[in-house]
Each structure stands twice: as structure tokens, then as C-alpha cells.
Homo-oligomer: A and B are copies of this chain.
Amino acid sequence: MPLSTDLFDRLRAIVGAEHVRHTTGDLTPYARDATPLFDRLPDAVVFPADTAEVAAVLRLATEHRVPVVPRGAGSNLCAATVALNGGIVLVTTRMNRIREISPTELLAVVEPGVTTAALADAATAHGLLFPPDPGSRTVSTVGGNVATCAGGLRGLKYGVTRNYVLGLEAVLPTGEVIRTGGRLWKDVAGYDLTRLLTGSEGTLAVITEITMALLPAPADTGTGIAYFPDLAHAGRAVADILSAGIVPATLEFLDRSCVNAVEDFADLGLRRDAGALLLFGDDGTSDAVRRDLNRMAELCDAAGATEWTLAEDVAGAEALLTARRCSLPALSRLGSLTILEDATVPRPRIAEMVDRIDAIADRHTVTIATFGHAGDGNLHPTCVVADPNDTESIERAHAAFDDIFRTAIELGGTITGEHGVGAAKLPHLRAQLGDDQMQLLSRIKSAFDPARILNPGKLGS
């Protein structure tokens, strides 16, 4: 049901006519996010300037039972910001001020539309570090990071977004503005709504301000690379590193298909005969970094690495990390449609999981390469489909991912480590959480959103 003229007039009165879009051409960029195969034109896109405008839009939407989908950059990979039922897409990109960076209090206060990179750069300029570093960081917004509890390469040592959110201002779908947490590391006054909103994927409230903890920037970083005959050997090195008391800032792997795709793409001089590539790195004081890097190299060697190298300097480290960073573009080039997933398993089961992913890919005759975060078991099996119009191939890819998600759950893992559930994985959530918990999520959703207007068809549905 399209929105009424009256409703458009009221939206324009709230945010200003120039901040309401309604033509098909203007709506089209907001029909999709970074997730392939999900596509729905909203009825309107609005760009509020502040909390009061967000609240007015939400009150109006609740009154008229119009769906509202909050959206930052739309860089999520789980169709969390596709307006499945139409309605209003509420874009936060105009709310993009960094309000404060406090080196004394080790925190930042930002509006939700600030990009992750802008926050990270502002922190760096003050000698501070914002640890979460999702792959989309140059475009993703901090509001989106909070909404999805974004992760990244540093998860094991530094945790994910939830570990840094100190306080939130958020608007309930019924228009009330709440403030949760604050500027404190310790605050147990009330249920932990700060963390409940973190990762709620825009289904409970619209986040309008974030207070984010920062850390002192480490003095130095270092990176090394090791090749192994297979992932089982790499997994042994990972276990030995952690058992030795090292919690590295970086511990990433690429499987053989990935190594070859990256080498085809970027010609980095990687060993094509390797069964697995492990990137390891740490940050801290220079002497600690050197010592840990040398120790990790020794442990890789002892675990059966066929070759390893330590980067001599920052440029050398960047060159090594390129192998990991261009995994996705390298794989994407192999076909027209790339489905990037993030099934995650306990660390000791990574090799077993990748073996089973390979067997699943063979069984369904699809191409799947896997890279990911060895430190926290967060895998990114990536399926490449040659022709996006080949529905039969796409169905085989979906069938393969169904098996992959089932396998992740069977191995004590999760259907999503850091990307989120969105519309893409909602059909798989029940298998992980069970009926009782699914019903509980729905009741929690109703506690925030009695008219169920906020991001329908996603978490809590």
C-alpha cells in the first residue's frame, strides 16, 4: 500500500521537503543493501537531521502503521536494511558529526551517520585506537556498526563493537527518546539495554547517539605470514600460539582456493601450492611485538609450516595484509554474483569445518572458497556464481549454504559471527535458537515496538 499524500506532506513537514525522496529513480539506490538477491523498493526515503526529527518520523509511522527501516550506509551483508514490506527507509547519513573525542576519558561521542573510518581516523589523530574494523569500514557507519555489532580482524584480542559501546541515545518506535549507559566503564543501573540494542539490527529502536570507548593507540604493530600443507596444520599453529599465552591482534587464514584467487588477482608472490596461508600479527610496544612475532613464527614452524616470513616494516606488513584484504574482491572477480557468509565455529574445529564446506561445495557442484578469522573461528565461506540470472546455480548455492549453516550449528557454532541475521538468515535462526527462544525474541520485540513497524521481517519477527 503506497503512502498517502497526507503522509508525505507530514514527512516533509518533519524533515524538510528536500530530505524526503519518493520517485522511483530516487528510491532505487535504497532498494538494496550490500546483500545480493534481496531487492524491494521502499515507498519513501527520509533523511532526518536530528533526534527530534527521528522521533517525529517514528511517531507518525507508528500512528499510521507504516514500516520504517533504519539505514546507515547499507553496507551490511544480511539484507538487514531491505524494506521487505515497503514503507519508509530512514537514513542516518545526515547525522554525521563527531561530537567529542576525549583522550582523558578514552571515549568518543558520535552521531550514528559518522563512518567507521572517520571515527577511527579521529581517534588516531588523538593517539587513540577504535579497535572494531569491519571490512566495510571506509563506508559503514558507526550506527550501522552498533546495529549489527560489527566485528573485524581484531576480534580475539580486542573484542567486537559491543565491547566498546558505553552508552546510547535511541528513539523507540513509539517516539520516546531513551538514554542507556553513559560515559562509564561500570554502570549496572537497569537491564543492559546498551548491549540489547547493540546487534538488534534496527528492529527495536533507532540509535541517534553513541558513546564509544577508545583505547590508547599501540606504539607498534608487526605482521608475519606462514604457509601450511593444509588447514589442519595451520589450526595446530593457532592452538599452539594461544596456548603459549599470546593473544595476537591478527590471526587470519586463507584456504587454497582463496590463495590462488588472490594471486590471480593481485600477483603478490604467494605460494600457490600452499594448502593454507596464515597471517599473524600483534600490536603493542615494539619489543613485545618483536618477541611475540618471533615466537609465533617459531610455533608455526614447529607446527609444520612449509615457509614463513616476518614483515620488515609497516610497508611490508601492509603488503602481507593485502593478501587478506583483497580476498573478497579477488573471489568476486571469478563470477558475477558473490555470496559472502560468516558461519562461525569454535576455534579447534576450523579445519574440520572447512573440510566439510569443501565437501558440501562438491556435493552441490558450486565454487566455495573460505577465508576468515582463525583467532575467533569466524569463517567467511564465499560462493561465486558465474551468471546472476542462472537461477538453478543460485538454488544450488543456497542449498550449499543451508548445509553449511546446519554444519556450523552441529559443530557448536553459529550461523553468523559478525554479519548479522537480517532477512537473509532469519530462516536459519530457529534451527540455532529453538522455538522457545524465538518466541522470547518476538516478545522482546513487542516490548519495544508494540505496532511492530520497525524493520519488519527481520530479528524478532
* B104 touching A186, Cβ below 8 Å: no
Q: In this assembly, does A337 line the interface, its C-beta being within 8 Å of a C-beta of chain B? A: no
* B437 touching A190, Cβ below 8 Å: yes
Digit string of A404-422 for contact with B (CB within 8 Å is 1, else 0)?
0000000011111111110
Partner of A216, one of B188, B245, B376: B245
One of A4-12, A20-28, A155-163, A297-305 at the interface: A155-163
* A198 touching B192, Cβ below 8 Å: yes
Q: A243-B103, A440-B447 are in contact. Are A190 and B459 (CB under 8 A)?
A: yes
Q: A182-B412, A245-B127, A446-B447 are in contact. Are A196 and B191 (CB under 8 A)?
A: yes
State the Cβ distance, A394 to closest chain B Cβ, in Å.
24
CB-based nearest B residue for A413: B184
A346: chain B residues within 8 A (beta carbon): 105, 182-184
Partner of A433, one of B189, B285, B437: B189
State the Cβ distance, A147 to closest chain B Cβ, in Å.
10
* A444 touching B191, Cβ below 8 Å: yes
Q: In this assembly, does A151 line the interface, its C-beta being within 8 Å of a C-beta of chain B? A: yes
Q: In this assembly, does A149 line the interface, its C-beta being within 8 Å of a C-beta of chain B? A: yes
Q: Within A398-444, which residues are at the interface with B (CB < 8 Å)?
A: 412-421, 425, 429, 432-434, 436-437, 440-441, 443-444
Q: A444 to B200, alpha carbons, bound, how many Å?
A: 14
Q: In this assembly, does A359 line the interface, its C-beta being within 8 Å of a C-beta of chain B? A: no
Q: In this assembly, does A288 line the interface, its C-beta being within 8 Å of a C-beta of chain B? A: yes
CB-based nearest B residue for A450: B443
* B198 touching A414, Cβ below 8 Å: no
Q: In this assembly, does A367 line the interface, its C-beta being within 8 Å of a C-beta of chain B? A: no
State the Cβ distance, A17 to closest chain B Cβ, in Å.
31
State the Cβ distance, A172 to closest chain B Cβ, in Å.
7
Partner of A447, one of B127, B199, B443: B443
* A348 touching B105, Cβ below 8 Å: yes
A451: chain B residues within 8 A (beta carbon): none
Digit string of A162-191 for contact with B (CB within 8 Å is 1, else 0)?
110000000010001111101111111111
| Number of copies of this protein chain within its complex | 2
Q: A155 to B288, alpha carbons, bound, how many Å?
A: 23
A441: chain B residues within 8 A (beta carbon): 190-191
Q: A189-B433, A447-B440, A447-B446 are in contact. Are A184 and B288 (CB under 8 A)?
A: no
A436: chain B residues within 8 A (beta carbon): 172, 176-178
Q: In this assembly, does A267 line the interface, its C-beta being within 8 Å of a C-beta of chain B? A: no
State the Cβ distance, A177 to closest chain B Cβ, in Å.
8
State the Cβ distance, A433 to closest chain B Cβ, in Å.
5
Q: A105-B348, A172-B436, A172-B440 are in contact. Are A187 and B242 (CB under 8 A)?
A: no
A247: chain B residues within 8 A (beta carbon): 106, 215-216
Q: A446 to B450, alpha carbons, bound, how many Å?
A: 13
Partner of A344, one of B156, B187, B245, B432: B187
State the Cβ distance, A121 to closest chain B Cβ, in Å.
18
Digit string of A365-385 for contact with B (CB within 8 Å is 1, else 0)?
000000001011110000000
Can you list 24 A-B pairs, Cβ within 8 angstroms, ordered by A? A104-B243, A104-B347, A127-B245, A149-B192, A159-B185, A160-B185, A178-B440, A179-B434, A184-B414, A185-B378, A186-B417, A186-B418, A189-B416, A189-B421, A189-B425, A189-B429, A190-B433, A191-B200, A191-B204, A191-B459, A191-B460, A192-B195, A192-B198, A446-B447
